[in-house]
Amino acid sequence: MADFVQHLHPALQALIRVVFFVLPSFLIVPGLIWWERRLLGWMQDRIGPNRVGNITFSRTSRFVPSLLRGKKFRLFGLIQPFADFGKLIFKEDITPSAVDRAIYFIAPGLALFPALALGGTIPWGPYPWLTPVADVNVGILYIMAVSSFGVYGIVLAGYASDNKFSLMGGLRSSAQLISYELAMGMSLACIVMATGSLKPSAMLANQNGPLWGLDYPPFNLIQNWNILTPYGLVAAIIFSICMIAETNRPPFDLPEAENELVAGYHTEYSSVKFAAFFMAEYLSIIVYGIIWSTVFVGGWHLLPFRFDAMAHAYPAFGDVWNFLDTLNGSSLLAPVWVIAKACCVATSYIWVRGTLPRLRYDQLMSLGWKSLLPFATANLIVVAIWIVATKVSSPIIGWVAVLLSAGLLYALYKAINRLNSANRPNLESRSITMVDEPPQRREAELVDPAPAAT
């Protein structure tokens, strides 16, 4: 089949890619919504949606085949997102009278645009017809460019609603997206420099090489996933924080902070238009998850092992290695692993949401500008030194240079920090003093109530 597709016209190949891979990956969205609600419910010690879709057949009716009488089928509430979607569609679509009509209607569509446009940049598998729609030499920059459009949907929604809370939400969102885009671009730039190319497919090819560029066992049996290198690990952490901020997910959901801004930028939206914002958020979670897994954890490979190199090194078990290589993604299984990795990233998104409280606005800004951006820039310097040292001498000298330069930068950071803190008092520390302390409970009350007498 792969051979057959390769001989088709490029436009038809692109169509196949969009229809069979990009669009179905969006079918995960309802599942993701269900998964988020169930997982959050579990984390918060409650049940979550677990009823919709359960079928219980009648025990006495003649219309039920005897095989099914009295049987129960549970779907664990999997149909809940569809029920929710039905509810959203059939709700009354209220448009406040003071809104700026044209912009109010455009905004939800614009919010969907980045997620849909980013879907085309993903390499789905080892075949040419599974590579990105436009595999031009600016692929990563394209990701940056399109993700910067994300701000328009929110800002325009906030403006057009003619509501001060919405406008505040839009303002916050634009400040947040612009500041976190910088650190995100810097962390991507590290990987681009280490790869030497802006193509996502070249980035994957680089990650298939031997670990740390050392071409002898055991290193040449492990793939050089970017997350396994020191600079790549730092870049991956920075990118994943920025990714959560870019998608406006908790703990970075200041644009829609319920306890401050009603519902933020989508306060005035109802029915399908609200559903569009909702969809856009979950779509971008999946798309960013796929991008993260492509850039940092080897894209369509399941495990970081080079089974082709193993087959070369230990030819006695050649068939076993080849079979494992097929399982590992050098086959039509590749898109499955891409989606699986994206689902893992989405799960960690939900986990973070269940764990961390929302940031205060000044914390958000200081995290973005004072921590992530300098950290990413230092990482960029380390990568540059690594490239030079590796090219001048050998990979080992390169890694020694990485350690030295990272240590030097850390020492510099500590020195600057000490100089700064010597001059001015630390204003960040806060403490709470209880004025009206509650009376201490007596010992007797703390003891568990005695079991009921039998």
CB of 333 to other proteins, least distance (A): 32
Asked if residue 144 binds other proteins (CB under 8 A), the reply is yes
Q: Does 15 bind other proteins (CB under 8 A)?
A: no
* Residue 345 makes contact with other proteins by CB under 8 A: no
Look up residue 433 and give its two tokens: 């003093």
Is 174 an interacting residue with respect to other proteins (CB under 8 A)?
A: yes
Contact status, residue 130 vs residue 336, Cβ threshold 8 Å = no
Burial of residue 86 (number of CB atoms within 10 Å: 0-12, 13-18, 19+): exposed
Q: What are the counts of helices (DSSP H) followed by strands (DSSP E) for the chain? A: 20, 2
Q: Which is nearer to other proteins, 89 or 145 (CB)?
A: 145
Residues 84-113 that bind other proteins (CB under 8 A): 100, 102-103
Tokens standing for 234?
Answer: 């730092």
Residue choice 129, 142, 292, 296 for contact with other proteins (CB under 8 A): 142
Question: Do 49 and 80 touch, CB atoms closer than 8 A?
Answer: yes
Please name the amino acid found at residue 337. W
CA distance 299 to 292: 8
Which residues in 193-212 contact other proteins (CB under 8 A)?
198
Q: Which of 138, 397, 412, 415 binds other proteins (CB under 8 A)?
A: 138
Q: How far is the CB of 171 from other proteins (least distance, A)?
A: 7
Q: How far is the CB of 344 from other proteins (least distance, A)?
A: 29
Report the Cα–Cα distance between both ends of the chain, in Å, rounded: 72
C-beta closer to other proteins: residue 106 or 233: 106
With binding defined as CB under 8 A, does residue 141 bind other proteins? yes
With contacts defined by CB under 8 A, name the span among 46-54, 138-146, 318-326, 334-342 that binds other proteins. 138-146
Residue of the chain from 23, 145, 392, 403 that contacts other proteins (CB under 8 A): 145
Indicate which single residue of 136, 392, 397, 416 sits in contact with other proteins (rule: CB under 8 A).
Answer: 136
Return the closest-CA partner of residue 232 out of 397, 427, 386. Answer: 386
What mask of x and - would describe binding to other proteins in positions 20 to 59, judged by CB under 8 A? Answer: ----------------------------------------
The residue behind tokens 């976190």 is 180
3-class SS of residue 27: coil
Residues 6+ apart with CB under 8 A from 51: 77, 80
Q: Per rule CB under 8 A, is residue 373 in the interface with other proteins?
A: no
- Residue 137 binds other proteins, judged by CB under 8 A: yes
Report in angstroms how near the CB of residue 409 gets to other proteins at its nearest: 20
In the complex, what is the shortest distance from the CB of residue 169 to other proteins, in angstroms, rounded to a whole number? Answer: 13
Other beta carbons within 10 Å of 127:
18
Q: CA 228 to CA 247: how far, in whole Å?
A: 26
Confirm or reject binding of residue 376 to other proteins (CB under 8 A): no
Beta-strand ranges (E) seen in 5-138 are 55-56, 72-73
Interaction between residue 167 and other proteins (CB under 8 A): yes
CB neighbours (10 Å) of residue 94?
A: 10
Q: In the complex, which residues of this chain contact other proteins (CB under 8 A)?
A: 100, 102-103, 136-138, 141-142, 144-146, 148-149, 151-152, 155-156, 159, 167, 171, 174, 178, 181, 198
